[in-house]
Structure 1
Amino acid sequence: MPEVVFLHPDLGIGGAERAVIDAALALKSKGHSVHFVTAHHDKSHCFQETKDGTLTVTSVGDWLPRHIFGHAHALCAYIRMIYAAIFLVFFSSLKFDVVFCDQISACIPVLRWSRAKILFYCHFPDMLLTARHTFLKKIYRAPIDWLEEKTTGMADCILVNSQFTAKIFKETFRSLHDVSPTVLYPIPDFSSFNLPSDPIDVDLIPTGTSTVFLSINRYERKKNLGLAISAFAKLKKQLPVSKKIHLIMAGGYDDRVLENKEHYLELNRLAQQLDVKESVTFLRSFTDSQKRMLLNHSTCLLYTPDREHFGIVPIEAMYMKCPVIAVKSGGPLETVVDGDTGYLCEQEPDSFAEAMKKFVDDVSLKDRLGKAGRKRVEEKFSFNAFTKQLNETVHNLLR
């Protein structure tokens, strides 16, 4: 069977990391040999499969800087990924037929020195993820943006995570007009979700709470998490004091990332200003069992990012029969069916609060929409279909 190496910049606990881990599990289930090479892997801050031996990981180049005095994060990330590729091709003893790389394409010219086929998974064009407010920033990003487009086109196969990303790919990489990326939805392995759920944790969900709203996302400003708190505050003002509602803000958090620390404090201050601090629980990172418990016992999920590339969390929530309220843009347009598995709203507190109130007024809504969500995931977003498509892609590459 083919041997596949996954080359990833930072094997933490984000959505991109979950996607490549599930891809590795999918190929491993088909008999492929899989191995991760990454610039950073902290066993105290990673997914279970990368620390319990399910997936083997080699970390190289973590001594290289992540930034230069708080700047040049992209340049440093590119250097770290290129260094990892140099190690893989010229110095490692690993055998590989296919390299699955994602997020940073700058390593592809190095990988082409090997005989392996190169599969690049584009979560979203990196050049669109950074603002260019100053002339110096534009000058700094120009060669990086050029390199991203040029090297992306050097992959033997390009996959994207949604129809939305495929459209953005074509609009952004103008020189790759003859390249048509294939959509491979990053569907998680739901086997862990089938395990028995833990009892309600009263430290997270207070006793007597009638309606529980849940947000799961990294503590990053682009995730628009303030929308969930603002909408919750508006809803709370509309309800009598006897209605006990609660909001749980569960987010990926990394002490090394300054934005995580800053935004966590910003959201706490927002909850204080809106006078809902006592009704909001902030959870920094969480275990798999906590995630199952939260999805199982929450009334619905609030998914706030605008123009999200795909969004794995809504899929996980629907599988757990937890309806989703999401911003009406990007990936959720492909996953959430408005009025059937949840609600698609404008990214405004009033719009979200209106949808949230439906679950307070009608206690049967969670069950009805939850069952429809589970059915949609099983029919449209199965891990078996994801595994089959990825396995065929690898075999077609080698032919």
Structure 2
Amino acid sequence: MARKSASSKAKPPPSDSDSQNSTDVATQQQGKDKPRGTIVFFHPDLGIGGAERLVVDAAVGLQERGFRVVIFTNHCDPSHCFDECRDGTLDVRVRAAGPVPMSILNRFTILCAILRHLQLLITIAITGELYSLRPDAFIADQLSAGLPLLANLYPAAPILFYCHFPDLHLALGRDASLIKRLYRRPFDTLERWSMGYSTSIAVNSDFTRRVVNGTWPGLEDQKPMRVVYPCVDTRAKAAASEDDEGDSEPVLDGDKIILSINRFEGKKDIGLAIKAFAAIPTDKREGARLVLAGGYDARIGENVRVLSELRSLADSLSLGHATVSSSDSLSSAPLTSEAPVLFLPSVSSASKAAILEASRLLVYTPAAEHFGIVPIEAMLARVPVLAATTGGPVESVQDGITGWLRSTLDTPAWTDVMTRALSLSKKERKKMGDAGARRVEELFSRDGMARRFEAILAEMLAQPRVPVESTFFGRVIELGAMVVIMAVAFGFGLLIAHFYYPVRHSVNNMLGFTKKKDT
């Protein structure tokens, strides 16, 4: 359970003796007489993001409560993941990293993700790794398409599916053409159908629960649905506070820092922070810095594009800016430059925590965010939060007490809050910071989240399981239908690429559609 396996290369299945040794270590560490069972997680890509942070915290929390935990994933880059995934805290196993790519010419991402997930399930089944673990329960998130296959491969273990947000809305929320919407339709149908194979469903907020019920009426009548808030490790924060003697070096020049932590994606609306910051009166903005940090992956086209667009936006508003490519280089030159805007792509946990401690305000720009773990981290660090009036932050941030809630359509309102935060006295900052820390301790601790997961697992395990033999032929038909749906979607996607996408010539060449010139 504490093996160092966070590698981007697949490793061979553990032997029975290795599994027993891992279990013994976990048992001794937790002071348990015997292991409480094996929980297997499935997550497509263990990078740096809110969904990944939840999976890691849930896994660590259950592990601390005496369970053996194993996480299967298609990808985990040691240089781009959370510390627990690379330092041996968690047993992370990378399987089926290829040959299916993450995308095809930056298209068909959802199709590739589903195929990679199915490939992972088949791989660990064929090698016997899945069965050697003898899992008591499964926890999967983000992708539900593999649940029917998983239910057939190992019907004895119940499945908890954690729904961060219906993928249907994530796709249709974009400025998509009719053709692209039609392409998505089979996957939206697959999402709802495959979720029916879960034993229970968990969501990350009441907001998401309402969206799920509105999207799929009757689903909650068929499957128990529970709200399990994401969390932060309050104990680690308390230990760090005790060790801090107040003489650490500042990570940035000055103390008037406004911080944004988000993945570099269009839906995060990071540009709002730049626009609001630029509108602060010049005399009030003197010495202030806007730091834009967050998850960034050069393999993802959207990340590259959004970062470039944000730089251009800063230029258009006459805001000087600098970029630190390596988030671990806190002593590098740009951090001490005079640029009022600083970009920190792929920020590490240590860097993020250090800069957060020095910030006057955390701005969280996404509208209708499913939950948002960053405001929780900020409140635990006693930093006031400015967030949107929609989505999960409404459940976490108390307007006027732990921070402020403002409409993302009202940029001047965000500017006003930024200006106010920069002028708050130490006493006012302390009062608001203390209120935020108390709220996190009460509602969003890791131990509390682990206990909620444990209660759901106990409830699922108490339910009788249907033997696989009794529904074998029906399941074969259903799995065949799933394959047909994906094949149709893939073929339809290729037609779209051939006739509509700007990169159609590249696709044509790849598929051999280009006509040969007469010689």
Instruction: Tell me which of 115, 128, 142 is aligned to 1:103.
Output: 142
**Kept after mapping to 2: 8 A contact 1:120/1:152:** yes
Q: CA deviation at 1:242?
A: 7.9
Q: CA deviation at 1:268?
A: 1.1
The gaps in structure 1 that reach 5 residues or longer are: none
Instruction: Tell me which of 213, 227, 232 is aligned to 1:188.
Output: 232
Find the counterpart in structure 2 of residue 355 from structure 1. Answer: 417
Aligned equivalents of 1:273, 1:85: Cα separation in 2: 48
Aligned equivalents of 2:88, 2:441: Cα separation in 1: 29
Matches within 5 A, 1:85-164: 85-91=121-127, 92=129, 93-113=132-152, 114=154, 115-130=156-171, 131=174, 133-164=176-207
Find the counterpart in structure 2 of residue 300 from structure 1. Answer: 361
Q: CA deviation at 1:314?
A: 0.4
Q: CA deviation at 1:41?
A: 1.1
Amino acid at match of 1:200: P
Matches within 5 A, 1:1-399: 1-63=36-98, 64-91=100-127, 92=129, 93-113=132-152, 114=154, 115-130=156-171, 131=174, 133-174=176-217, 176=219, 178=221, 179-194=223-238, 195=240, 196=243, 199-201=249-251, 205-206=252-253, 209-235=254-280, 238-240=281-283, 243-277=286-320, 278-347=339-408, 348-364=410-426, 365-399=428-462
Q: CA deviation at 1:88?
A: 3.3
Q: CA deviation at 1:132?
A: 6.5
**Kept after mapping to 2: 8 A contact 1:5/1:96:** yes
Q: Once the two structures are superposed, what CA deviation does each residue of 1:206-249 show, in whole Å capped at 9, x if it has no partner?
A: 2xx352100001011110100011100001xx141783111110
Aligned equivalents of 2:165, 2:421: Cα separation in 1: 33
Judging changes above 3 Å, is the alpha-carbon distance between structure 1 residues 305 and 251 closer, same or farther for their aligned structure 2 residues? Answer: same
RMSD: 1.6
**Kept after mapping to 1: 8 A contact 2:47/2:80:** yes
Amino acid at match of 1:393: I
Q: Once the two structures are superposed, what CA deviation does each residue of 1:267-286 show, in whole Å capped at 9, x if it has no partner?
A: 11111111122201111122
Find the counterpart in structure 1 of residue 505 from structure 2. Answer: none
Aligned equivalents of 1:149, 1:181: Cα separation in 2: 14
Task: Indicate the larger mover: 297-306 or 269-278.
Answer: 269-278
Judging changes above 3 Å, is the alpha-carbon distance between structure 1 residues 141 and 241 closer, same or farther for their aligned structure 2 residues? Answer: closer
Aligned equivalents of 1:241, 1:18: Cα separation in 2: 36
Amino acid at match of 1:295: L
**Kept after mapping to 2: 8 A contact 1:212/1:298:** yes
Q: CA deviation at 1:43?
A: 1.1
Q: CA deviation at 1:290?
A: 1.3
Aligned equivalents of 1:384, 1:190: Cα separation in 2: 9
Q: CA deviation at 1:177?
A: 5.1
The gaps in structure 2 that reach 5 residues or longer are: 1-35, 321-338, 463-519
Amino acid at match of 2:250: I
Aligned equivalents of 1:375, 1:167: Cα separation in 2: 27
Amino acid at match of 2:413: S
**Kept after mapping to 2: 8 A contact 1:89/1:111:** no
Aligned equivalents of 1:378, 1:216: Cα separation in 2: 21
Task: Indicate the larger mover: 366-375 or 143-152.
Answer: 366-375
